[in-house]
């Protein structure tokens, strides 16, 4: 993880069992000897990412930045899709001209 978490590989059967018990895809908070650690399990690769409060805060900031970036990308794609489908309308037809130009139904 780019947030500064360290990769830990379980060395004993008990450590592997604890790794398997952690909820996959979620960061778990663990208190050990008066300190708080955040553990992100990767049981498929037999490892866990471990960090303290500073690493967890950096992780949260990265997630928030990625969420905003993804929203911006989705919005841009939505606008692109909308712009691309205008041609299927077959033109604007009557009534869509600028006001005062005498185009369309019910001239002003």
Q: Average pLDDT of 10-38?
A: 90
The answer to the question of residue 14 being in a domain is yes
The answer to the question of residue 108 being in a domain is no
Backbone φ and ψ for 48, nearest 5 degrees, come out as: -140, 150
The answer to the question of residue 38 being in a domain is yes
Residue 9 CB: number of other CB atoms within 10 A?
Answer: 12
Residue 46's domain spans which residues? 6-84
Residue 108 has pLDDT above 90, yes or no: no
The answer to the question of residue 80 being in a domain is yes
Alpha-carbon dihedral angle through residues 24, 30, 36, 39, given to the nearest 10 degrees: -20
Residues 6+ apart with CB under 8 A from 30: 36, 37, 38, 39
The answer to the question of residue 73 being in a domain is yes
The answer to the question of residue 97 being in a domain is no
pTM over 0.85: no
How is the beta sheet containing 28-32 ordered, strand by strand? 6-8, 47-51, 35-42, 28-32
The answer to the question of residue 91 being in a domain is no
Compute CA distances 25 → 11, 21, 39, 49, 72, whole Å: 22, 12, 10, 11, 24
The pLDDT of residue 30: 87
The answer to the question of residue 37 being in a domain is yes
Considering its fold, how many domains does the chain have in total?
A: 1
């Amino acid at each position: 993880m780019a947030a500064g978490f360290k990769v830990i590989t379980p060395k004993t059967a008990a450590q592997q069992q604890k790794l398997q018990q952690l909820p996959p895809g979620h960061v778990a908070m663990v208190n050990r000897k008066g300190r708080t650690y955040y553990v992100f399990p990767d049981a498929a690769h037999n490892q866990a990412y471990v960090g303290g409060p500073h690493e967890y805060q950096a992780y949260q900031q990265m997630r928030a930045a990625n969420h905003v970036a993804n929203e911006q990308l989705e919005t841009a794609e939505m606008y692109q899709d909308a712009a691309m489908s205008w041609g299927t309308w077959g033109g604007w037809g009557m009534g869509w001209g600028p006001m005062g130009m005498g185009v369309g139904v019910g001239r002003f």
